[in-house]
Structure 1
């Protein structure tokens, strides 16, 4: 199957797209883990144009979550590349839409079954740049470590998103 150069777009990059009337626009809403600890704020939505649906929430990570981690800033990774180094600006993570519950009354999004420590240790990206499928796979392995091999065997096409973690309930 032919590989596409890009399959995901931020909703704000698609002026002809809008959120369906039966769904909430969660941009600007707070996102918390299952124990109600703040993860961050939903900055945008990642949309698959071909599938015409939201795939990921783009979350600007809360400063406290970043400060709680023991990461190193602006350092070159060592030769064996085992250490992931964050740079200033790497303050966003993606969360699959099927991994959250949306409370329209409180305007809070709750991550199901993904804890604070997992979010704290999940690699982040700089919003100025698009992420690739390798980043998506690494994030999914972080959130769902028991499914590692299933994320690796999928192709670069949209079949990657045919799993419950991407179902908008």
Structure 2
């Protein structure tokens, strides 16, 4: 959201915000799909300032999940065997709505309950150096919940974020 009306912020941008004592700081934790396949690590949390709550997890996607068949252009460097790639920081981030996961404080693992591995592989990624806009949010939500596509048309934050996908159990 590249304008003065911006309302989503990374938690680490907000010095006066901290995680409530009854919630775990899940940054750095592994996130898996329902079949326990690794999606990536939680890099940050996206906070809606007006609502004063986390709405998205910012996930640095695991290299194995990146779908090279999308014909994306990446600044990549092949190592000696030509199979491994090192992506520039930020080329492999996705957002996941907080209500779409369950958090296991004992194992320090976050599980995406209803979104499959292949959906994550095909989900549009963003560069963490740039803030995303509502169109990106809609594309991601439509990839996660294609049957509910019409529900993500609203641009009003109260309407857009007041749904089960953003419910912070």
Name the TM-score class by shorter chain: 0.7 to 0.9
Q: Structure 2, unaligned stretches of length 5 or more? A: 75-86
> What is the match of residue 71 of structure 1?
70
Matched, 1:7 2:7: yes
TM-align CA RMSD: 1.7
**What is the CA–CA distance in structure 2 between the aligned matches of 1:64 and 1:166, rounded to whole Å?**
27
**When the two structures are superposed, what TM-score results if normalisation uses the length of structure 1?**
0.86
SS at match of 2:34: coil
**What is the CA–CA distance in structure 2 between the aligned matches of 1:33 and 1:121, rounded to whole Å?**
14
List structure 1 segments (4+ residues) > 6 angstroms apart after TM superposition.
none
**When the two structures are superposed, what TM-score results if normalisation uses the length of structure 2?**
0.86
Give yes or no for contact 2:134–2:155 (8 Å, CA) kept in 1: no
Tell me the matched-pair count: 154
Alignment of 1:43-82 (within 5 A): 43-66=43-66, 68-74=67-73
1:47–1:147: structure 2 CA closer, same or farther, 3 Å change rule? Answer: same
SS at match of 2:65: helix
SS at match of 1:36: coil
Give the drift of 1:70. 1.3
